[in-house]
Amino acid sequence: HMETNYRETLQADFDAFDISEELGFILEEPLTHLPDYYRVWMDLANNLAHLIESRKLRDLVHKMPVLSPHLLSNHRELRLAHLALGFICMGYVWQEGQHEPAQILPKALAWPYWLISRRLGLPPILTYADSVLANWKLKDPTGCAVLHFFTVSLKKGHIKKELQKWRDNPMLPRGLLYEGVSNEPILLSGGSAAQSSAIQCFDALLCIQHEGETGAFLTRMRDYMPPAHRQLIETLSVCPSLRDFITTCSSSDLCQAYNSCVSALVDLRSYHLNTVAKYVLVPGNRAISMGCPLRGVGTALNTTGTGGSDLMVFLKSVRNTTQRALILERPTTSRET
């Protein structure tokens, strides 16, 4: 009876926070098709790489009808529409490269994208929740391997990481104007690992408190998460401190278990930091030293993350703060022995 009540309570929490016992924060069984009314969106999204290479995407968007999102009837349809429109918007803005970004997002994109975003509680820009959590399908239906079905930003390289935001971006200093939505440009950060619901949940559960600009940035990135995930992080943040409980109960086993979790998170953040240095900063600096014609812009973008953070300062800060959360076991006294 107690086991049944526990499972029911646990499932209620999973439902409330829109998470899965098997997949965590990943969207379960994401769709790959929308109702036929929205075929033009899916056609553009599925052919985005070719349309960007051939410089045809903007022309096709200009001919696109303004579709109402009201025929999208459930959460999965809304998530797929948000994902598709997000990729199309990125392609439209950056089709001509970082030196000629579009300043205005046409109403045929901006208006339905804005309405869909409001229904989901997400901003109208491609987020981590789109490109990672909702952008997958089984590569092998009998196995566990996954494959991203919109791969333009992940494998094709047509939309570079700097091309993914219109906040803290020197090429769009005032932001992007959403036609039919606002009379002023809108500033939005791009998809970032800082928007990972899982990572911020680990921080909240393990009581790793990031302060100053780093803490403020991470808190702002929660606005780019699905609302239910954001609520889970905020709920964990106000719960009684797990770390304080472990330090007061003087259990060596609990202390070691906690430190193992924190150490794993430190290792993950160190790996992330090294990967960024190897594949982002080093190639970027090499291009600048070779006389890249956009070296000034490249320098600014090379040191700034997609979310708008000062890249290496931010990554080192979160790693070091995580490391400081480790509990130093008290030496055993002769009386305790």
Q: How far, in Å, CA of 329 to CA of 5, rounded?
A: 37
Identity of the amino acid at 31: L
In sequence order, the 6+-apart residues with CB closer than 8 A to the CB of 327 are: 243, 246, 247, 255, 258, 259
**Integer Cα distance of 317 and 311 in angstroms:** 10
Is 272 annotated as a binding-site member? yes
Mapping DSSP onto H, E and C, the string for the chain reads CHHHHHHHHHHHHHHHCCCECCCECCCCCCCCCCCHHHHHHHHHHHCHHHHHHCCCHHHHHHCCCCCCHHHCCCHHHHHHHHHHHHHHHHHHHHCCCCCCCCCEECHHHHHHHHHHHHHHCCCCCCCHHHHHHCCCEECCCCCCCEECCCCHHHHHCCCCHHHHCECCCCCCCCCEEECCCCCCCECECCCCHHHCHHHHHHHHHCCCCCCHHHHHHHHHHHHHCCHHHHHHHHHHHHCCCHHHHHHHHCCHHHHHHHHHHHHHHHHHHHHHHHHHHHHHHHHHHHHHHCCCCCHHHHHHHHCECCCCCEHHHHHHHHHHHHHHCCCCCCCCCCCCC
- CA–CA dist 301, 162 (Å, integer): 6
Radius of gyration of the chain (CA): 22
What's the length of the chain?
A: 337
Q: Specify whether the CB–CB gap between 177 and 185 falls below 8 A.
A: yes
**Which residues participate in the annotated binding site for heme b?**
272
**Which residues participate in the annotated binding site?**
272
